[in-house]
Amino acid sequence: MNVQVNTEMKTAAKANADWWRGGVIYQIYPRSFQDSNGDGIGDLNGITQRLPYISSLGVDAIWISPFFKSPMKDFGYDVSDYRDVDPMFGSMDDFKTMLDAAHAQGLKVMIDLVLSHTSDQHPWFAESRASRESPKSDWYVWADPKSDGTPPNNWLSIFGGSAWQWDSRRLQYYLHNFLTAQPDLNFHCVEVQDALLDVARFWLDLGVDGFRLDTINFYFHDKELRSNPALPMDQRNASIAPMVNPYNHQDHLFSKSQPENIAFLERLRALTDEYEGRACLGEVGDAQRGLEIMGEYTTGDKRMHMCYAFDFLEKRGLSAQYVKFVFDELTSKAGDAWPCWAFSNHDVERHASRWGLSEEATRQHAVLMMCLRGSACLYQGEELGLAEADVPFEKLQDPYGIEFWPEFKGRDGCRTPMVWSAQSEHAGFSAGEPWLPVSPRQAENAVDRMDADPSSMLHHYHRVIAFRKTHTALATGTQTKMTQEGSILTFLREDEDEQVFCAFNLGEETSQVTIPGEGWHMIGQELGGCEGSDSVTLEPAQFCLMAKDKG
């Protein structure tokens, strides 16, 4: 084999191993994607059935929210067995069939690992709470009450109330950052770390291509159990919890995001690196320091491959000023960090509704996501331009929404079933009564109707994703010279072959854009991009893209 051929093969192998860098990941919420057996709940066989559709989008990978055994108090994010499939989703054989089918379609498969806490039905917790002398006594976070019987500190749960629950067996409190049925694991115990790494190895051995890591900055707590300080009113925001939740009243300096977490993430990355082409995507939940933590967790090549914070999942829309602020912050804190951007997911109101976007603006935002430096996550139905579903109180399933209704309606509105066929019962999701009601408004944008219309949002997403792959500078290139003038955001993407100039009008006023230098040619007209030469006039929700070859 000559040197040139060998070099080309190594380059191709490296590119395949780095599929995550600039990759497009499609999130599946399995309860709501496709039901194959008529029980009203989506399942693994339903995912297998719809893999050709996902592959046709041109995405690189799927991320599947939890399907492990669970009492379903938090719909799978309360795991009672990390190494098995909950029967409502199918069996382990069904998972293996789905995994093989996805790989045959050219799709990577990432699964959602919930490591910060388990269900209170997990055997580990049963053993831990049984006695202070049990072998797993310190596998969870236990603490004695204060002398007056109150919890050991002021930490709060994201789901409301104290983060401490009294247990009459041990006569101690245990920590739960989420529901009382989700006790936090004690990562200061090395045996806990080892057990969780064994869980990760189990799924890597089965052939999964990576993990989405739930609440990655919640793993460690302050060992001294110091109380969190109050957060000034002007620093509170609703990116992690709704403003009606007192969780926003604290600066969570001690209940999460501890420095000890770095060493565990490096252990997890080292394990992942034993397997070629695997990747870790971390969720950073912090309203004040999300970008800083994201930078810490992804800098270099020994920690996470990529993370996402909640900056683009907030209620606040994407103004030119805000997008530039986010990237300036990320650059200043960790210039080599690799972000992953999402506008919607299973925890927040769908962005078309959250930001009040017109159809034109929704299309523009899809282009913007595919042009920004980083990887991209799309949430099921996003490619259809779905708005948030309206779920009446009597149909709510989410304990978060039930707790804070009506000021906060919870997460059910973004979790309603996927709409496949406009005229079919339950929009083709299930032959039975769905666990959440199908939205009639969403059914108007069902896949079959969108697929039949070449000008639809679905076909727009097809074109946008294909465009990103055609212009590799957008997927893996550098990003420089980001500027904001009024409502206009501009930046350059560049790799060894091409420069791409991107300009977006993210405001409500018509504005002029000056093209930097000469030699540019227009690209992206098939996406709705504007024409122009030396200068371009951009109406609200318009954009222009230009390219220049590097000869």
Cite the active site residues.
Answer: 214, 274
Name the helix (H) or strand (E) containing 367.
helix 359-371
For the chain, how are helix, strand and coil distributed in percent, rounded to 5? 35, 20, 50
Segment (H or E) for 191: helix 190-206
The DSSP bridge partners found for residue 411 are none
Tell me which residue of 499, 255, 506 sits closest to 369, measured CA to CA. 506
Amino acid at site 169: R
β 142-143/488-494 pair status: unpaired
* Cα 451-457-462 angle, rounded to 5 deg: 70
Q: How far, in Å, are 118, 266, 353 from residue 260 at the CA level?
A: 20, 11, 38
- The token pair at 326 is 């986010």
How far is residue 546's CA from residue 273's CA, in Å, rounded to a whole number? 38
Q: What is the rounded CA–CA span in Å between residue 385 and residue 363?
A: 8
Give CA angle at 426 (420, 427), nearest 5°.
20
Q: Which residue type, as a one-letter code, is found at position 219? A: Y
What is the Cα–Cα distance from 535 to 69, expressed in whole angstroms? 58
Alpha carbons 43 and 67: distance in angstroms, whole number: 8
